[in-house]
Structure 1
Amino acid sequence: MAVFLLTLCQGSRAVTPVFVQKGNDVVLDVIKANVPEKFILLVWKFNGSDVLVTYSPGGEPTVFEGVEFSVKNYSVKLKNLQKTDSRVYTARVTASQEKIVAEYNVTVQDPVSPVSLTVDSVSSSSDSCNITVTCRTQDSNISSTFRCVNQICEDEREKSKTTTSGTFLHVNLVNDSIICNHSNQVSWTTNTGQTKIQDFCQHDVVSNGAITAGIAVGVLVSCLLVVVLSIYRCKKKKEKQFENTVYDVPQEINPGQDQNQNPVTSTYALVEFHNGPEIINTTNVSPPETIYAQVKQLQSPSPPKSPQNQHLDL
């Protein structure tokens, strides 16, 4: 229920407009300060002549069907109002003279109907985006266009209108969502779901921070690739040096061989480039034996006997 107070100049009546949703109740109050301490009769009327309540101090009130009256504060409660109950309700007090102590203009309204929002068109460029939407009810519709530039979206034409049934339609942007409101003084409804600007103008919602983060990630990945490639090349280089290394094979010196003869020569294996892993059947192959060269001390040959010594032996 919405209440609006209209204060008029002194000497004229203050009429209070009251809006009530169909089927609800409403209480109409009387300001006791406006009621004389000693009065003869208090009457609530509607449309200026039809009586709702009559009350005389010390007696029992006469109350119209469907109405409740309070003797303490002289207020009335109207129940289960229908649109036909929209009228002016007045409280009059008779003392030395008759005066109006309360007056209300009651309007009974239906709750508003549901509303829908549709996207009519989207046009985009490198730096901006325009989106046009239409908000519809059972008997009315309005359209509005939103423009987004540099991540800032605004309604180019703020749209609001009064429908044929006396309700209001309004389209606006709330937290990056386009909202359509259908309302009157007693109820309101919005479009179900949310229409996000980002869903239609994605290039306008990409922040500079996201771009910077993407660049940083790209640089980091490039650095990691360079490091991994350098380690791989270094490892391959060491493996190649190890494969090309030739070791001297010690040879056995035969007994009786003169040490002054030609020195022992070393035989080197010819090393070829590695052509890939070789599959070796290890089922019946005995483990390799380690061969060590055996070096023996040469024994000096006995000197030949002189002829003189040979003669003595004979």
Structure 2
Amino acid sequence: MIQFIFVLSTLISITEPSNVFGLVNSSVKLDIQHPVTKKDDLFWVFNETKNVLKYNKKYNDITPSTFYEGRVEFNKETYSLTLKNLQKTDSGLYKAKASGDVDRVVAEYRLSVLDPVEAPDLTHQLSRDTCNITLTCRGHDLSINSSCYKETCEKKEVTSPENITLSLSVSGSTIICNHSNPASWKTDVLEMRELKRHCADEGSVSPSAGEPVCLLKTALYSISLILMLCNLL
């Protein structure tokens, strides 16, 4: 195990680390947030105690720790660190420390490595009044029920304590059920025209429904007229 020695006489720290998110088996790039002088050596550390990488400016030498070897890339021009093949155990606090005339923290990130979300499920159900439609959007352990009347649908959203969000919205003629976390999102959609075809104009009577009524009235009128004539004879 390669050991690094940090001499930090005066350490200037960033107030709050920036939150970043990555998916399992993906990569994430961490950039420098404060200037680094041409004479500074640079160290990336994890959770204050585990060394990630050391860059010796004088000898132009990059030395990753054994644990991160093959999983990190360092840019000598920008001092950025790229972590590859992320695992949930990589979640934590990352700091870049510049060592020179004054030792200081020049980048600080809190990384959260997450699983991708599953695809949600969007279903609909017709009520007795076919213009009223109930929508159900499901994802993870979350569920949203909403209602539509013709082309108007309720927009809803719910977020779990684990920062997983499920939302139902309308964009143009498309109803969208969106399932997301800070690193990924997936959707299920339903076209409005699929709902509109179930909803006939209220109060209208179609020709096919009107014709039998008209024929019945004509027949009854004819029978009445015949009976009247028979009584006169």
* Common fold by TM > 0.5: yes
Can you give the 5+ residue segments of structure 2 that lack an aligned partner in the other structure? 1-12, 208-233
The answer (yes or no) to whether the contact 1:177–1:197 under 8 Å persists in 2 is no
What secondary structure does 2:127 align onto? Answer: strand
SS in structure 2 opposite 1:197?
helix
Query: Based on CA coordinates, which of the two structures has the bigger radius of gyration?
Result: 1
Mapped contact 1:123–1:131 kept (Cα < 8 A) = no
- Give the strand-richer structure, 1 or 2: 2
- 2:55 counterpart of 1:61: no
What is the DSSP-based 3-state SS (H/G/I as helix, E as strand, rest coil) of the residue aligned with 2:57?
Answer: coil
Counterparts of 1:165 and 1:100, CA distance in 2: 30
Against the structure 1 CA distance between its residues 170 and 202, is the aligned structure 2 distance closer, same or farther, given a 3 Å change threshold? farther
User: What is residue 157 of structure 2 aligned with on the other side?
Assistant: 160
CA distance in 1, matches of 2:175, 2:78: 48
Residue 179 (1) aligns with residue 180 (2): no
Whether the aligned pair in 1 keeps the contact of 2:18 and 2:109 (CA below 8 Å) is yes
Match of 1:23 in 2: 25
Q: Is the 8 A contact 2:177 2:189 kept in 1?
A: no
Count matched residues: 187
Kindly indicate whether structure 1 or structure 2 has the higher relative contact order, using CA contacts under 8 Å at least 6 residues apart.
2
**Contact in 2 for aligned 1:176/1:197 (Cα 8 Å):** no
Q: Give yes or no for contact 1:67–1:77 (8 Å, CA) kept in 2.
A: yes
Paired residues of 2:47 and 2:94 also in contact (CA < 8 A): yes
Q: TM-score normalised to the size of structure 1? A: 0.53
- Where 1:102 maps in the other structure, the secondary structure is strand
Counterpart Cα distance in 2 of 1:103 and 1:20: 16
Instruction: Say if 1:130 and 1:146, in contact at 8 Å, map to a contact too.
Output: yes
Pairwise mapping of residues 249-268 of structure 1 onto structure 2 (< 5 A)?
Answer: none
Q: 2:85 aligns with which of 77, 80, 87?
A: 80
TM-score of the pair, normalised by structure 2 = 0.70
Describe the SS at the equivalent of 1:203: coil
Q: Mapping of 1:269-308 within 5 angstroms?
A: none
Q: Which moved more, 1:164-173 or 1:107-116?
A: 164-173
What SS does the corresponding residue of 1:106 show, helix, strand or coil? strand
The aligned amino acid for 2:27 is D
**1:132 equivalent in alignment to 2:125:** no
> Letter of the aligned partner of 2:45 in structure 1?
K
| Offset of residue 201 of structure 1 | 2.2
SS in 2 for 1:202: coil
Pick closer, same or farther for the CA change 1:12–1:42 going to 2, 3 Å: closer
- Superposition RMSD in Å: 2.7
Tell me the secondary structure at the aligned position of residue 84 of structure 1.
helix
Q: Indicate if the aligned counterparts of 1:63 and 1:69 stay in contact, CA closer than 8 A.
A: no
Give 3-state SS (helix, strand or coil) of 2:89's partner.
Answer: helix
**Deviation of residue 108 (structure 1)?**
1.4
Identify the match of residue 145 of structure 2 among 143, 146, 150. Answer: 143
Unaligned runs of 5+ in 1: 1-10, 215-314
Tell me the distance in 2 between the aligned counterparts of 1:199 and 1:29.
53
Separation of aligned partners in 1, 2:181 and 2:89: 18
Look up the SS of the partner of 1:124 in the other structure.
Answer: coil
CA distance in 2, matches of 1:77, 1:171: 35
- 1:48 aligns to what SS in structure 2? coil
Q: Percentage identity across aligned positions?
A: 35
Q: In the alignment, is the contact (CA less than 8 A) between 2:166 and 2:178 conserved in 1?
A: yes
**How far apart are residue 14 of structure 1 and its match?**
5.3
